[in-house]
Structure 1
Amino acid sequence: MTYPNPQGTNFVADSATQVGGVSPFAGPQGASSAFIEGGVGVAHATQLSDYKIIRRNGAVVAFEPSKIAIAVTKAFLAVNGGQGAASARVREQVEHLTEVVVKGLLRSRPNGGTFHIEDVQDQVELALMRSGEHNVARAYVLYRDKRNQERQATQTIESAVSTPAIAHPGINVTDKGVIKPLDMANLQGILEAACQGLGSTIVATPILTETIKNLYEGVPIEQVFDSAILASRTLIEKDPAYSLVTARILMHVIRRDILGVEIPQGGMQAVYPEYFSKFLRRGVKEELLDPKLLQIFDIAKLGAALNASRDLQFNYLGLQTLFDRYFLHIEGQRIEMPQAFFMRVSMGLALEEANPTERAIEFYEILSKFDFMSSTPTLFNSASLRSQLSSCYLTTIPDDLDGIYEGLKENALLSKFAGGLGNDWTNVRALGSHIKGTNGKSQGVVPFLKVVNDTAVAVNQGGKRKGAVCAYLETWHLDIEEFLELRKNTGDDRRRTHDMNTANWIPDLFMKRVMENKDWTLFTPSTTPDLHEKFGLAFEEAYVAYEKKADAGEIKPFKRIPALQLWRKMIGMLFETGHPWITFKDPCNIRSPQQHVGVVHSSNLCTEITLNTNETEIAVCNLGSVNLTAHMMTDANGKLVLDHAKLEKTISIAMRMLDNVIDINYYAVAKAKNSNMRHRPVGMGIMGFQDCLHMLRIPYASQEAVEFADTSMEAVCYYAYKASNDLAKERGTYSTYPGSLWDRGLLPQDTNALLLKERGGYLEVDSSSKMDWTGLRASIAAHGMRNSNCIAIAPTATISNIIGVSACIEPTFQNLYVKSNLSGEFTVVNEYLVRDLKERGLWDEVMIADLKYFDGSLAKIDRIPNDLREIYATAFEVDPKWIVEAASRRQKWIDQAQSLNIYMAGASGKTLDDTYKLAWIRGLKTTYYLRTTSATQVEKSTVSKGTLNSVSNGSEEAIAAAANTPAGTSGFAAGPVEADGPVCTMRPGDDGFEECEACQ
């Protein structure tokens, strides 16, 4: 076989040619573990024998990675000659490229299937281009083109001398062990039904053509539909509506799989009631569901309330996520369909209602219409025999071995049932502190955190998600400097926690010392025990007194360093490793409605929960989020605005659901039940904020966006506090209500004045309001509150995928990218942008190619008007100050906190310093991940494509790691990688970063 050389010389390579005479892969069986177990991301396949290649003549052969290695080697031979291709560098490059190609192929078909030979060659060509091997790629492209021309010439000659072709007799498929002809009319009808109602440009023809291309004689019927799904999803980049088409094809597969027969979507309204009854009975029989479901509900009425048409509102990512990870199954066989899923969750939340059937229908309506979505633990476990529905747990670890290991046990038990953990470790004495019982010295906090890290890995939330924990430490703790380095990849690995999150719990006094360039003193809590329990001016007075004692030699050990030096190390490690996060102790406490009964010692795994903890109480929070996009309406003047009437109704129902969780919930630890029953906190949040800005045509980086953040959050909080007040009228106040800030007539927006007084300055926040709070204040004074806390904005990583909106308050990541998780790879396209570009006649193949090349950014695409560039600016094109300003306006109204990622392109020390100081001055309680890109743009043809990486700081190891990052298989930048768990690490070895979903 001859490849043309760009320099004009042809090199001949036979089929046995390999790098150095040895193929990098031994063959399909030998490569199986390397690709499957090595982290390709294939969810269900266990060996490469599940994959086949369709040759151009229709023959089906085994998938052999070794042949890909041979093809790549031949391309190198064509350019470098035999000696050059045998070099060590080329051998390594061939092995790497082959692995990239195979990973891309397998990710595209996670359950096994067939690849057309052209698909494989496309991947090889793509890998060569991305790797920067331009000459080799050119040789490969030229060879492919030459061979294509030869085949066409041969086919022309053959057609001229041959007899007329006989009509193709069709293809046979295997259905439940029976060989029968493929019903082409039925397949075409299914695909056409999936395209109905989505516009004249959404048609079934290209899906059908590509589907047939990838079939072979005797193909299992399941692979026919898999092929249709794959064919449809490749069109998503051309039009986001094909995501709905793909979901509808998948919905057909789900119906066929669960019901055992093919039923069109139009027939499901009649089928759902009978199916639902059978589903419940089977779920109870298999001990998946609570028997009470059959005893206290009117099953016929619930079945009749199911709305089959709502199965059509899912996009592909949302439905695939539900199917893979949420629907109930028996030994891997799914038994739950979408509307049954939403009703099952609703029934579980209505178990203790006086009118359970009516309430379940009420809950079902807001869930199934995507107006509100409960958090992942609630969706997982509602109505089950062990209904652990809460999302977040906060614990305080005491300073003794019994207490420390009791805390580790509690972590394991809480994690087992899908809870995200926040541990406060400030109580534990520092390295070198005296131990009275043994007359020895303490090893400090870090060795115990290593055990916490390993426990989180070992206990994986019932096999559904990885366990996840975040450790918090106050800034005055003597171990703080080593704590900052826990996530480093260098140093003693016994003192590193690579799988655990960390966060700084920073008092205001430290920030004031930073601003004023003063010294800071580190203590061990064994000699300063009350610092942990104080905040504001009380903390400052006690801290200064301890400094004087240390200077007088009355306290040992201690250490004094410039506060600015420690601050720089904090933000430097945040930039280098993504940890520890920056959170602020005093606003969390001074503004806490519950400051009369205790101290907020930490936040949770995702930094949005701020609840009291102590040695007898583990704080618990139950989450769910309102979909803001579902609450927009056009007013009488034709202006798009928030629909306050609908928002109030949704929030009233949602708050009732969240309050019910507290009573229904399974508590793995008694301390958690004790705390939750006493204070009854919930955390309702929002999602789809960026979508609303797109609908309003407002850029994220604008004062208008800041104002919308303010007014929308004011409305959400107003209706949430009103709903809790209404529940108090019906059910009574929570037990620790007397003495709370609510009881004292102070609402969250009033507490900024308290914070300003305690800080003595350094607080600049807006105090404006739009709604009339007078009546609500009077009602709270008269009837109290049902819940100590009501609002917390969680990340919503997974539930926003389910309903197809942007996560919580996040700016647009990219306008076109690939999102990867264990369900496969999903093309994500900004549908609002596509709509606007279509209206202006700018949406075409060239625009798609430009978006791919520029990683979903519009900034460098000249033909896009400036107004669209501003509206659709991506996260790293938005100055982080706008993210902080919008968050400050929200924080004014929120009684807890918000999970706030900071995006920063080309971050510098000054930008980091300015941004996090601004966050403090604007009164934020917490921040979350710092997501950064490198200061220099990587050449577009490289493998990394400038891939996101919060740990990339320009170091050689970070750059090397980024260089090994494969981009998305669709040929454009890859987006967030969602691991099957809540760990939020942005890993340099993946296509971007993982999303936190421990909370949602």
Structure 2
Amino acid sequence: MTIASQAVHQTAEQPIQLTVVRRDGSSTAFDQTKISVAMTKAFLAVEGADAATTHRVRDLVADLTGRVADALTSRGDARRSVQVEDIQDQVELALMRAGEHQVARAYVLYREERTKARTPADPAGVTAKPAITVRAADGSAAPLDVDRLRVIIAEAADGLDAVDPEQILDETIGSCYDGIAQHEVELALVMAARSYVETEPQYRFAAARLLLDQIRREALGRVHGEPRQASQADMATAYADYFPRYVQLGIEAGQLDPRLAEFDLARLAAAIRPERDLDFAFLGLQTLYDRYLLHIDKVRFELPQALFLRVAMGMALREDDREAKAIEFYEVLSSFRFMASTPILFNSGTTRPQLSACFLTTVEDDLAGIFTGIRNNALLAKYSGGLGNDWTPVRGIGARIRGTNGESQGVVPFLKIANDTAVAVNQGGKRKGAVCAYLETWHIDIEEFLDLRKNTGDERRRTHDMNTANWVPDLFMHRVEADGEWTLFSPDEVPELHDLYGAKFAEAYRGYEEAADRGEIRMFKRVRAVDLWRRMLTVLFETGHPWITFKDACNLRSPQQHAGVVHSSNLCTEITLNTTLDEVAVCNLGSVNLVAHVTPQGLDAELLRDTVHAAVRMLDNTIDVNFYTTPESERSNLRHRPISLGLMGFADALFTQRIPYTSDASVDFADRSMEQLSYYAIEASSDLAAERGHYETYDGSLWSQGILPIDSIDLLRTARDGDLIVDEGKQLDWEALRAKVRRDGMRNSNVMAIAPTATISNICGVSQSIEPTYSNLFVKSNMSGEFTVANPYLVADLKARGLWDQVMVSDLKYHDGVLAGIERIPADLRELYATAFEIDPMWLVKAASRRQKWIDQAQSLNLYMSAPSGRALDELYRSAWRHGLKTTYYLRSQSATHVEKSTLKGTDGRLNAVPVSLPEPTGAVCAIDDPDCEACQ
């Protein structure tokens, strides 16, 4: 790389058009940014990879670059030429004058290296075998087998043109020491590849393949009962021998369902696609290894493709042609076209197939009912269930208790117990129990409920580990808009309000207000609606809770209005199912990987249809093979058979099509893609109804009336007297689908919901759910550790334009993965790769509104604000309500300060290193992929 490229430097008096003569005799215009890049590299060489992220170095480079430019352009002539060597001489001189002698020397060496690079070099020597002894697990010792390392690394780098095997080998050997254990050598291999991910995203695949070699050794050895090694090439035949042994071992260990042995295992093993092991990026495979692959005494015996086939077999147990369906299910899972939720991946095909991700309950207003609810929380959470509790029926503080003639302490003390239960039941150490408490806005304890997550006050009335959400009726929003009064009641005196919504709720509520005025209600409180709304938003900003969810939109558009009431959402605000004291709502989830169905030209509709039909069948099957921990959940699930099909990889799909998130095209794509997914999902459920029969409570549902999700918008619009902003455009033949649903019915009461997908999107190596890109370079933390994440689409674009180098990596670190402050990145790339906090959150609301019209449930919608204010929050959440959203999820905001940057190579690239993450959003947020937050698939 030479210093020269196109640009024009300006002097204070007149423009100087300085021409740079290259070494080959060609010429180009002067560009001082190339001087800045060269100086920065020199500082990196002397002061390490952290140098370019410090203010001192960046300011000094900017100053010295200006001095060099001034020196070159202040020699009199308005038009003149200069040799590349002259420019480099001025750079050296400026560094020397600034007292940066070591940096100047590094710059000289850099010039010499570039000179050598332009001349033919001698063939590289072969890495010498070091005198290092390796200890095996049995205590024996042998020399480090460098040749074996070279073979493993070469296989890991196969097909990855940007990966340098010798670089990984040198880094690995440099991390080894005499007497090192064999497992540490394997770790050193993986860590060596990881250390280069920040500068070249292809290394994430090389690191995964090196980890895969370790997994193969561990699993094959455990299954065969003796040490085994296999290359990726060997697995083309090794899987066939391994798989039946794996099933038998799993059954003998009491982990796999004995019915799996009844399958034609040879036929299934022949369908395994070993090459798909190479599709994992490191984060995905490490997550799979740490949390999903089955093990005996912490020794894994399950390989990745065996996991997907085991899951597929578990969901095909009751199919007529089990093998054919298992293979079909395996295909969509192993290709990452669709991924089932974490409980399904954990438990399908096992002796305890608890496959449900979400449970919704209503808590009864008496002591026995309250503790039954808390007990059910523990049982449901035990096998990886996320919980949403409706606490609205529980009477408020000060309410009369007939049995003791005393006064209630309100709902908060019981929420504290529910909070501690969630902490205690950590799902066998796999992940922390998680629960969200919902309370309606008219509950007299609502003001204390808002403070549950605060860090000040009486700790006995705080729930630091529980999520909370406001269940907001439309009438409250109307009172806010009209600056009216709002009345708080205790539910024991206004029992109707819990089960009413829309016009009937408004009528009953006004009736209770009149009764309070007449003195007929003992406990009530009047507040200004706007004041309560502002406090809700203020606490949301300060603590991240309670979330804002909308009761009437959830109920008025629910297909199951005839069979009950939606009293809350779930842990992640995307599930909207009816609950009663006798029925716990249950939902089984999975997500379509949208980017796997997208090309630069758009969606592959036929492939998407095939994937959706297979996914809906899989999710419907889980209902019948599911292990239910409470009778209330089993009764509900078998009667209504709800499933929740969502999507992930939305941001990747936009990148593939070159569509910026902040564009009408992005909103249109959200609309079109969700319309197709909705159409195919409803079609698939109706096909299943024709084959297997409709769900028990189908008659009387909106489905039975030919009212599809797109049609139910009119119900909400009518209830709000037209005060609704929803685009109702459509492209597919919905009339034909209505006729089919009326004729054949629906197998499932509910079909769609968009969950966060944090974990399963990691497994597939795609962007999370419908989220915008958080950062283009950062360290992601989860229960598997710290992982460098670089946006591979951005890196590819920067490479294509000759802009990807170590200085760019340093710039990305310095700017926290945000491109706006990096001037040498072209404007079109800054727009395409804008990060979450650069995006006006109204774009998120508009896209979510377009999706919501097609969805019978809801979507986990995070909202990002770089500089929240009371006015901005008010406008944003009123807009979310007016655009017909059923729920919102976390409000994410940025901290005013940032943590000190550190080189990623030095943190996650060496043995025993202490990782240092780049900043995540702080304050009122849930960290992206927070290992303690399992509000995610």
Normalising by structure 1, we get a TM-score of 0.79
* Deviation at residue 178 of structure 1 after TM alignment: 1.8
Match of 1:736 among 693, 697, 708: 697
Structure-2 separation of matches of 1:492 and 1:892: 43
Equivalence for 1:962: none
The answer on whether the counterparts of 2:454 and 2:543 sit within 8 Å (CA) in structure 1 is yes
Equivalence for 2:241: 274
* Deviation at residue 261 of structure 1 after TM alignment: 2.1
When structure 1 is superposed on structure 2, of 620-629 and 209-218 the one drifting more is: 209-218
- RMSD, aligned α-carbons: 2.6
Gap change, CA 1:542 and 1:590, over 3 Å in 2: same
Structure-2 separation of matches of 1:836 and 1:927: 34
Match of 2:150 among 188, 198, 202: 188
Match of 2:594 among 620, 628, 633: 628
Structure-1 separation of matches of 2:725 and 2:317: 46
User: Residue type of the partner of 2:608?
Assistant: L
Equivalence for 2:29: none
The answer on whether the counterparts of 1:172 and 1:179 sit within 8 Å (CA) in structure 2 is yes
* Deviation at residue 772 of structure 1 after TM alignment: 1.0
The answer on whether the counterparts of 1:976 and 1:994 sit within 8 Å (CA) in structure 2 is no
User: Residue type of the partner of 2:489?
Assistant: F
Gap regions ≥5 residues in structure 1: 1-117, 135-141, 153-165, 634-638, 946-967, 978-983
What does the per-residue CA deviation read over 1:682-737, in whole Å, with 9 as the maximum and x for residues that have no partner?
Answer: 00000000000011111111111000000000000000000000000000000000
Q: Are 1:774 and 2:735 counterparts?
A: yes
Equivalence for 2:18: none
Q: Are 1:435 and 2:397 counterparts?
A: no
Partner of 1:537: helix, strand, or coil?
Answer: helix
When structure 1 is superposed on structure 2, of 488-497 and 769-778 the one drifting more is: 769-778
The answer on whether the counterparts of 2:786 and 2:917 sit within 8 Å (CA) in structure 1 is no
The answer on whether the counterparts of 2:780 and 2:917 sit within 8 Å (CA) in structure 1 is no
Q: Are 1:225 and 2:212 counterparts?
A: no
* Deviation at residue 485 of structure 1 after TM alignment: 0.3
Equivalence for 1:103: none
* Deviation at residue 326 of structure 1 after TM alignment: 0.2
Match of 1:198 among 157, 160, 171: 160
The answer on whether the counterparts of 1:975 and 1:992 sit within 8 Å (CA) in structure 2 is no
Equivalence for 2:561: 595
1:174-573 mapped onto 2 (5 Å cutoff): 174-176=135-137, 177-199=139-161, 201-259=162-220, 260-295=227-262, 297-573=263-539
The answer on whether the counterparts of 1:537 and 1:759 sit within 8 Å (CA) in structure 2 is no
User: Residue type of the partner of 1:549?
Assistant: A
Partner of 1:684: helix, strand, or coil?
Answer: strand
What does the per-residue CA deviation read over 1:74-123, in whole Å, with 9 as the maximum and x for residues that have no partner?
Answer: xxxxxxxxxxxxxxxxxxxxxxxxxxxxxxxxxxxxxxxxxxxx99x979
* Deviation at residue 262 of structure 1 after TM alignment: 2.0
What does the per-residue CA deviation read over 1:640-666, in whole Å, with 9 as the maximum and x for residues that have no partner?
Answer: 111111111111010000000110000
The answer on whether the counterparts of 2:470 and 2:549 sit within 8 Å (CA) in structure 1 is yes
Match of 1:696 among 657, 660, 672: 657
Structure-2 separation of matches of 1:666 and 1:769: 40
1:112-131 mapped onto 2 (5 Å cutoff): none
When structure 1 is superposed on structure 2, of 689-698 and 170-179 the one drifting more is: 170-179
Partner of 1:743: helix, strand, or coil?
Answer: helix
Structure-1 separation of matches of 2:357 and 2:930: 22
Gap change, CA 1:906 and 1:285, over 3 Å in 2: same
Structure-1 separation of matches of 2:730 and 2:504: 31
* Deviation at residue 220 of structure 1 after TM alignment: 1.3
* Deviation at residue 167 of structure 1 after TM alignment: 8.0
Gap change, CA 1:996 and 1:642, over 3 Å in 2: farther
Partner of 1:432: helix, strand, or coil?
Answer: strand
Structure-2 separation of matches of 1:440 and 1:353: 57
Partner of 2:562: helix, strand, or coil?
Answer: coil
* Deviation at residue 198 of structure 1 after TM alignment: 1.4
Gap regions ≥5 residues in structure 2: 1-43, 61-98, 110-126, 221-226, 903-912
The answer on whether the counterparts of 2:204 and 2:282 sit within 8 Å (CA) in structure 1 is yes
The answer on whether the counterparts of 2:129 and 2:146 sit within 8 Å (CA) in structure 1 is no
User: Residue type of the partner of 1:788?
Assistant: S
Q: Are 1:973 and 2:918 counterparts?
A: yes
User: Residue type of the partner of 1:882?
Assistant: W
* Deviation at residue 317 of structure 1 after TM alignment: 0.1
* Deviation at residue 319 of structure 1 after TM alignment: 0.2
Question: How many matched pairs?
Answer: 817
Structure-2 separation of matches of 1:561 and 1:167: 79
Structure-2 separation of matches of 1:214 and 1:944: 24
Gap change, CA 1:991 and 1:798, over 3 Å in 2: closer
* Deviation at residue 192 of structure 1 after TM alignment: 1.3
Structure-1 separation of matches of 2:799 and 2:577: 48
1:725-874 mapped onto 2 (5 Å cutoff): 725-874=686-835
User: Residue type of the partner of 1:479?
Assistant: D
Gap change, CA 1:986 and 1:334, over 3 Å in 2: farther
User: Residue type of the partner of 2:551?
Assistant: K
The answer on whether the counterparts of 1:606 and 1:795 sit within 8 Å (CA) in structure 2 is yes
Equivalence for 1:684: 645
* Deviation at residue 997 of structure 1 after TM alignment: 3.6
Gap change, CA 1:281 and 1:976, over 3 Å in 2: farther
Gap change, CA 1:755 and 1:275, over 3 Å in 2: same
Structure-1 separation of matches of 2:53 and 2:431: 32
Structure-1 separation of matches of 2:863 and 2:932: 14
Partner of 1:873: helix, strand, or coil?
Answer: coil
User: Residue type of the partner of 2:624?
Assistant: D
What does the per-residue CA deviation read over 1:244-301, in whole Å, with 9 as the maximum and x for residues that have no partner?
Answer: 0000000011111222322110110100011111110000000001101112x10110
Structure-2 separation of matches of 1:338 and 1:985: 37
User: Residue type of the partner of 1:283?
Assistant: G
The answer on whether the counterparts of 1:392 and 1:604 sit within 8 Å (CA) in structure 2 is yes
Gap change, CA 1:997 and 1:454, over 3 Å in 2: closer
Gap change, CA 1:996 and 1:794, over 3 Å in 2: farther
The answer on whether the counterparts of 1:376 and 1:998 sit within 8 Å (CA) in structure 2 is no
* Deviation at residue 127 of structure 1 after TM alignment: 12
User: Residue type of the partner of 1:928?
Assistant: Y
Gap change, CA 1:902 and 1:169, over 3 Å in 2: closer
Structure-1 separation of matches of 2:382 and 2:129: 56
Partner of 1:903: helix, strand, or coil?
Answer: strand
1:138-153 mapped onto 2 (5 Å cutoff): none
What does the per-residue CA deviation read over 1:16-58, in whole Å, with 9 as the maximum and x for residues that have no partner?
Answer: xxxxxxxxxxxxxxxxxxxxxxxxxxxxxxxxxxxxxxxxxxx
The answer on whether the counterparts of 1:574 and 1:581 sit within 8 Å (CA) in structure 2 is yes
Structure-2 separation of matches of 1:999 and 1:898: 12
Structure-2 separation of matches of 1:901 and 1:167: 53
The answer on whether the counterparts of 2:53 and 2:811 sit within 8 Å (CA) in structure 1 is no
* Deviation at residue 998 of structure 1 after TM alignment: 4.3
Partner of 1:666: helix, strand, or coil?
Answer: coil
When structure 1 is superposed on structure 2, of 566-575 and 201-210 the one drifting more is: 201-210
Match of 1:615 among 581, 584, 607: 581
Gap change, CA 1:415 and 1:144, over 3 Å in 2: farther
The answer on whether the counterparts of 1:290 and 1:383 sit within 8 Å (CA) in structure 2 is yes
Gap change, CA 1:558 and 1:976, over 3 Å in 2: closer
Structure-1 separation of matches of 2:664 and 2:437: 36
* Deviation at residue 845 of structure 1 after TM alignment: 1.2
Gap change, CA 1:333 and 1:208, over 3 Å in 2: same
What does the per-residue CA deviation read over 1:184-211, in whole Å, with 9 as the maximum and x for residues that have no partner?
Answer: 1111111111111112x32111111111
User: Residue type of the partner of 1:883?
Assistant: L
